[in-house]
Amino acid sequence: MQLRLITVGQKMPGWVEQGYKEYARRFPRDFALELVEVPAVKRGKNADIVRLTDKEGEAMLSHISSGDWVIALDVKGKQYSTSQLASQIEHWQLNHPNVVLLVGGPEGLAPACLQRANQKISLSNLTFPHPLVRVLIAEALYRAWSVTVNHPYHRE
């Protein structure tokens, strides 16, 4: 299964890159997590946020194929426990060979990305800074995957 995380923003702080890489490297080859970064559009004092978010959304969508199963990380999405996410992973492995997760920029995902999504997932009712989300989702996916293979990483 191909698993891609498409995020807005490049040149993340060292702690973000280190945290993401720590979990991404743990995945096995047949369940590798690939990171695709699209540039954040520069925000000025009087920026047209809707236009900027739409432009970022277009860049994200350009990395998605028609057969990809797309999951938007959105505060209004469904929340999953680790065991529920593990069940989702098993479902994706059986039914969707290419899974793409979308993480928006400071203002969230563009409406076009939310429309394209086959699923919407929320990590929490809390709002997190978008750089932190890439670390959180990498760890959550790794933990859920570890449940599916009885790896000792996850202990209940």
Of 60, 55, 77, 70, which Cα lies nearest the Cα of 6? 60
Beta bridge pairs of residue 72: 102, 120
114 in a known ligand binding site: no
Distances (CA, A) of 80 to 20, 105, 108, 122: 20, 22, 20, 8
82 in a known ligand binding site: no
7 in a known ligand binding site: no
127 in a known ligand binding site: yes
123 in a known ligand binding site: yes
Q: How many helices (H) and strands (E) does the chain have?
A: 5, 5
Beta bridge pairs of residue 57: none
Helices within the chain (DSSP H only): 14-24, 49-61, 82-95, 111-116, 130-148
Look-up of token digits 């990809």: 68
Write out the binding residues.
73, 104, 123-128
Write out the binding residues for S-adenosyl-L-methionine.
73, 104, 123-128
